[in-house]
Structures are given as C-alpha cells and as structure tokens.
Amino acid sequence: SEIRQRRGSQPESAGDENVPEIYTEEVDYPTTMQEKREVADQILNTLKDIEPIKFKGMSGEVKYLKEQLAAAPYNMELILDLGHAYANDGQWDKACNVLLRGWKRAKEIDDPGRRTELLTILVEASYTCGKFKQALAVMNDIEEPHEPEALKLYEVMRCKICSVNGDMQKGLKSLSKAIEGDEFDAAASKWLHCLHALKRAGSYEESKGKVLQQATEDAQHAQETLDTLEKLADLRDAYHGTSTGQAAKPLLVRLLAGAVAACVIGALLFMLYRAERNNLIRLNFK
C-alpha cells in the first residue's frame, strides 16, 4: 500500500519507475518547534499551489466563446463550451447560469459523452454554488454509464449529491458501490471527495467505517490515514476559505497545521491533491 510508506519503509514496487518519489522517499518526523513551523510553512506553500484557479476577469477562451454565443444564442455546443470554460476558470456561478440555459435541451446534443459532460458540470457548478436541490434535479437527468469505472465515478457523484441533500441511505448506498473492490487508497480518495456532504447527512461515522473495511491489512495505519486526511482537508478548506486574493494568515495555518505536523505529510498531501484537483475531470467520465 502507498500509505504504508508513511513510516519510510520500502514499497513493494520500489523498482517501478512509475511510483511517485513522494511515496517512496523516507520522511523525517518533525519534533522541535522550529521543525513544526517549517512543516507548517511547507503546508502553506502547498495549499497555495493547489488553490482552485479563479480568474478575476475574463480569459481569452471565455471572451471568444461569449462572442460566438452572442451571435448564436441557442447553439447547444457553444453553451456547453462556454460553461466548461467558465468552470475551468473557477467561475462556477457563471458556469451555472450558462449551463442552465441548456439543461432541459441537453438531449439536443447528439454525442452522449458531450451530453453527460454538460449535465455533470452543471451538477458540480450547482453544488459549488450551494444550490443542492438543483444539483440533485440535474443529476437525476444523467444516464448511468455502462463502463464499470465510469459507473463507480457516477456513484461518487450520487453519494455527494444525495448526502448533501440529507438522504443518508442513498448516499451510503452509492458510496458502497463507488468503493466496491477498491484498494484502501482509492476508497479513501473517494470518501474524502464526499466528506463534507457525508457529514451534512449525519453519515460520517458509518461512511468512515465502510472505507476502513477496504483496508486488508494494518487497520491502525488505515485509521490514522483517514484521520490525517480529514485534518488536511479541514486545513485546506480553512486556508481557501480565508484567502480572498491574499494569502491566509500564517498564524491560522500554523495553528491548524499543529494538528497534523506530527504526522507524515508528503504522500497524504499528494493524495489529497490528486483527489480534489482532478474531481471534475474524473466525474466527466472521460
């Protein structure tokens, strides 16, 4: 398991050149106050690196597509492309507004992949804007994919959207389907993606138990991993929540980092990055 590298042991696939170095390098535990401050600074820099992109103005692609759509306001392909461009720029409210124009006309898009793309981005945009009931209504219009891995990612989305709307049982059922047969690391990433919604539904403990069942060995390390991932997620949310064009207050980050500074950070931050940075791309079933 990748997470077993937390204590600096050699991985089973140490000779595999595809294994990220961050998983295989030996990590020193911070012990002194100075070392913990250095860890906090490293976490702050990492949070800056993975901060969601958000254009304050208008990117060239958005400007071009807006002009094209103004000339052909009912063109579904342009509606999708502009909504996607807004999403790429982190302007979720604008993505939501544009894609709503195409929601009920999605079937006019002949390509089923493009049709699913429009609805999936609209679900994500609605969720991000706090329009949870709208996200649920849009999600219900998405056809379940047939390909096994795509279906599991669809269940991740269902877990998040059902849970954030308070449907604990449907959320947990979808989580079970999403992580069925997964190794622990993959299951933990999916759980992390849905964590806020699962907490909102009151299914935090039960969902965590389902993920821990995927750990075939070293249950204690699995428990520690989920605990640390959760703290890192809270730290990330606190940083991005206080960042408004300026860096978050270093003291706040250091105080929060104190909760995780005694843990091995590297591989877990990479895992958090991988799960959250690519969630929209992955849920597009590409």
**What pLDDT does 212 receive?**
94
Is the pLDDT reported for residue 4 higher than 60? no
pLDDT per residue as tens digits for the range 87-109: 988 899 999 999 999 999 999 99
The amino acid at residue 146 is H
103, 138 Cβ separation under 8 angstroms: yes
CA Rg value for the chain = 20
Number of independent structural domains in the chain = 1
Q: What is the predicted pLDDT for the residue at 35?
A: 58
> What secondary structure does DSSP assign to the chain, as a single string?
-GGGGGGTPPPTTTT-TTS-HHHHS--PPP-SHHHHHHHHHHHHHHHHHTSPP--SS--HHHHHHHHHHHHSTT-HHHHHHHHHHHHHTT-HHHHHHHHHHHHTTGGG-S-HHHHHHHHHHHHHHHHHTT-HHHHHHHHTTSPPPSSHHHHHHHHHHHHHHHHHTT-HHHHHHHHHHHHTT--HHHHHHHHHHHHHHHHHHT-HHHHHHHHHTT--S-HHHHHHHHHHHHHHHHHHHHHHHH-SSSPPPHHHHHHHHTTTTTS--HHHHHHHHHHHHTHHHHHTT-
Per residue in 150-159, pLDDT (tens digit) is 899 999 999 9
Residue 239, classed as helix, strand or coil, is helix
Give me the pLDDT at residue 281, please: 44
**Which amino acid makes up residue 93?**
D
CATH number of the domain enclosing 79:
1.25.40.10
Q: What is the pLDDT, as a whole number, of residue 149?
A: 87
| Nearest-angstrom CA–CA distance, 87 and 92 | 5
Percent of the chain past pLDDT 70, that is, above it, reads 62
Domain residues for the domain of 198 are: 2-283
- Please tell me the pTM assigned to this model: 0.71
Q: Could you tell me which residues come within 8 angstroms of residue 219 by beta carbon, excluding any fewer than 6 positions away?
A: 212
Helix, strand, or coil here: 216? coil
pLDDT single digits (tens) 162-213: 999 999 999 999 999 999 999 888 898 889 889 999 999 999 999 999 999 9
pLDDT > 70? residue 115: yes
- Cα–Cα dist 252/240, whole Å: 12
What is the band of 33 on the pLDDT scale with cuts at 50, 70, 90? low
State whether the Cα torsion 12-15-16-21 is positive or negative: positive
Q: Give tens-digit pLDDT for 241-268.
A: 543 333 334 443 344 444 444 343 444 4
